[in-house]
Amino acid sequence: SGMRVAVVGAGVSGLTATKCCLDEGLEPTCFEQSQDIGGLWRYTEHIEAGRPSLYPSVISNTSKEMSAFSDFPFPEDFPVFLPNALLLDYLRRYAGRFGLGEHIKLGTTVVSIRKHADFASTGRWNVVTEAGGKQTSHVFDAVMVCSGNFSEPSLPLHCFPGIERFRGQHFHSRQYKHPDVFQGKRVLVVGMGNSGVDIAVEASRVAAKVTISTTRGAWLLSRVFEHGYPWDMVLNTRLMSLIKTNLPKPLSQWWIDHKVNQWFNHENYGLQPEKRYFLPVLNDDLPSYILTGRVTIKPGVKEFRESSVVFHACPEEEPVDIVVFCTGYITSFPFLEESVVRVEDKQASLYKYVFPTHLQKPTLAVLGLIKPFGGIMPVAEMQARWVTRVFKGRGANVSPPVSQNAAHTGHILASNQGDLTAKKFGLTFDEVLKTEWLVYLDTLASFIGAKPSVLGLLCTDPWLALSIFFGPCSPYQYRLGGPGRWEGARQAILTQWDRVLKPTRTRVPAGSSSSFPSLLTLVGILLLLAAVIFGF
């Protein structure tokens, strides 16, 4: 019989892991502790322990063409950015289309995963699961951990002096569901990630006053980007990636600064990041809310008092009724032994963010941990395509480069730009898990022979080659060739803008122009010429 693979979790990563196993002729069993699939994207009104928690207004940060699984485009009538219910609907369609349901065991918790006695020779694992109060032991040839990292909140109260004498209410963003708790209150949001900004904006519609406290600041991007196109379809292109990675540091820095400050000058809004690494927060409203006085930005918290807070470098205290800590999450694998994935100082030792570096056999992989500046679904899928081929013994490149300085580069062996990643993002686990989306996808794609060749296509299919280079790097590019090639990939790429415009171009005045942003292509060709002339 085929190789038996245990998949932990039936969210985005677990679903695509199960599908990739089937594609490679492996036998997956996917264990999901809750009663339904969808992971993070399945909204529930009550908060369940060990499960991610959404607020009802969550909308995807990445556009549908850049978030799709590479052989399953979103329906054309779906909006460009997806409310959580529609994203869940898409995941259900994906599971239905590829017959994943029969391989998923719902209401089944993975209790422990331990090396089998003969691990050194076979790489097998003992997996203990629990369903309905009854435990079962299984032996699997390989394991894919897809349990995500949004279940265990990080709430370092010891970093906030005086919080114990604060009389108001305080809670972690994981507890947040509806803005009515803020009615007429003075609200402080601590932390400026996507949740923090979302919650501050929602709160400010009903609260008396809203303040965001941020130590580091943040770049802010709107989903609605240049000329109203989705931000990721403009920024995540091969051309842009080339500019970001190949220009001299000061020049690429200047260029990024220029791009992100086009919408508004971050310094004037108190948002300019301390360090200049580029990992923006997405929100369409915050600048106008700052401009209209509904939200105020302050530096980090110095201390709490009974009914107020004092910020660093601000002498006066500010009265506060409710504090929301948007301080992120801890990555943890309660079912694994410490020795399998060592998480030290919030860092895990994972080759390419996937394979634990010190296992004798590459038969356990962690998927979807990475926080790319781009869609997570294509990344999790690419990881799964690579991992399943490694399990079968024909994936290239899994022996991690053993380097003496591994300890210094934060236990993370990133692609050849590992050091770059370390410098660019500082070294907390959180930071290192954020990586250049396109470079990472290309790296894994090249391991399995699915990376598209722009130059090769230039001769055979020039229009496609130009679309791939100047247009958005949509996931369908990774199905043009190699294992898992999909017949519909070329067509999906050439019609991607039609699917973007379909849900919004719902009123077309007489005599209006064609809908395709051909201007982008024109600008692209001019840039290409410039590149050739200046030997860029």
Share of the chain above pLDDT 70, in %: 86
For residue 530, is pLDDT > 90?
no
pLDDT band at 339 (very low <50, low <70, confident <90, very high): confident
Rounded CA-CA distance 273/266 in Å is: 8
Domain boundary among 434, 452, 481: 434
Q: For 503-526, what is each residue's pLDDT tens digit?
A: 999 998 888 765 555 555 556 665
Encoding tokens for residue 142?
Answer: 């390989």
pLDDT value, residue 347: 59
For residue 23, is pLDDT > 80?
yes
471 part of a folded domain: no
Q: Which of 416, 439, 383 lies closest to 237 in space, CA to CA?
A: 439
pLDDT value, residue 526: 59
Rounded CA-CA distance 464/467 in Å is: 5
pLDDT value, residue 396: 47
Q: Which of 395, 439, 402, 433 lies closest to 417 in space, CA to CA?
A: 439
Domain boundary among 397, 419, 434: 434
511 part of a folded domain: no
Segments forming the whole domain that contains residue 361: 4-151+330-434
pLDDT value, residue 399: 52
For residue 81, is pLDDT > 50?
yes
453 part of a folded domain: no
State the chain's mean pLDDT as an integer. Answer: 88
0.85 cut: is pTM over it? yes
Q: For 364-420, what is each residue's pLDDT tens digit?
A: 999 998 888 899 999 999 999 999 999 998 554 555 443 333 333 223 333 323 322
On whether both 215 and 81 belong to a single domain, the answer is no
CA of 30: how far to CAs of 5, 35, 101, 115, 400, in Å? 8, 13, 9, 19, 27
pLDDT value, residue 373: 87
What is the dihedral angle through the alpha carbons of 27, 29, 30, 32, rounded to the nearest 10 degrees? Answer: 180
pLDDT value, residue 412: 31
105: Cβ contacts below 8 Å, ≥ 6 apart:
29, 30, 31, 32, 129, 131
In the chain, DSSP finds a helix count (H) and a strand count (E) of 18, 24
For residue 535, is pLDDT > 70?
no
Q: In the chain, what is the straight-line distance between the N-terminal and C-terminal CA atoms, in Å?
A: 53
* Structure-token match 């941020």, residue found: 214
pLDDT band at 331 (very low <50, low <70, confident <90, very high): confident
Amino acid letter, residue 129: T
Collapsing DSSP to helix, strand or coil, 351 comes out as strand
**DSSP designation for 186:** E
On whether both 57 and 181 belong to a single domain, the answer is no
pLDDT value, residue 249: 81
Rounded CA-CA distance 417/435 in Å is: 10
**Taken in order 246, 251, 256, 259, is the CA torsion positive or negative?**
negative
Encoding tokens for residue 83?
Answer: 């409310």
On whether both 75 and 172 belong to a single domain, the answer is no
pLDDT value, residue 350: 86
Domain boundary among 403, 434, 465: 434
Angle at 406 between CA 401 and CA 407, to 5 degrees: 155
30 part of a folded domain: yes
Q: For 101-146, what is each residue's pLDDT tens digit?
A: 999 999 999 999 999 999 999 999 999 999 999 999 999 999 999 9
On whether both 419 and 276 belong to a single domain, the answer is no
On whether both 316 and 404 belong to a single domain, the answer is no
CATH number of the domain encompassing residue 176:
3.50.50.60
**Helix pair 84-97, 12-23: axis angle to 10 deg:** 20
On whether both 270 and 171 belong to a single domain, the answer is yes
Rounded CA-CA distance 338/185 in Å is: 44
Please state the rounded mean pLDDT for residues 420-424.
Answer: 28
For residue 422, is pLDDT > 90?
no
Rounded CA-CA distance 522/103 in Å is: 48
On whether both 19 and 142 belong to a single domain, the answer is yes
498 part of a folded domain: no
On whether both 427 and 318 belong to a single domain, the answer is no
Amino acid letter, residue 310: V
Q: Count CB-CB contacts under 10 A for residue 419.
A: 12
Q: For 198-209, what is each residue's pLDDT tens digit?
A: 999 999 999 999
526 part of a folded domain: no
On whether both 350 and 402 belong to a single domain, the answer is yes
For residue 174, is pLDDT > 90?
yes
Number of domains in the chain: 2
Q: Which of 503, 519, 488 lies closest to 86 in space, CA to CA?
A: 503
Q: Is 109 left (phi over 0), alpha (psi -120 to 50) or beta?
A: beta
Amino acid letter, residue 338: E
Read off φ and ψ for residue 356, nearest 5 degrees: -55, 130
Q: Higher-confidence residue: 415 or 483?
A: 483
* Structure-token match 């909308």, residue found: 59
253: Cβ contacts below 8 Å, ≥ 6 apart:
276
Encoding tokens for residue 529?
Answer: 């010429």
Collapsing DSSP to helix, strand or coil, 309 comes out as strand
On whether both 191 and 112 belong to a single domain, the answer is no
On whether both 410 and 300 belong to a single domain, the answer is no
Rounded CA-CA distance 11/510 in Å is: 45
CA-atom Rg of the chain in angstroms: 24
DSSP 281-295: EE-SSHHHHHHTTSE
479 part of a folded domain: no
Angle at 152 between CA 421 and CA 340, to 5 degrees: 60
Q: What is the b/e burial string over 22-61, where b = at least 16 CB atoms within 10 angstroms of the residue's CB?
A: bbbebebbbbbbbeebbbbbbbeeeeeeebbbbbeebebb
292 part of a folded domain: yes
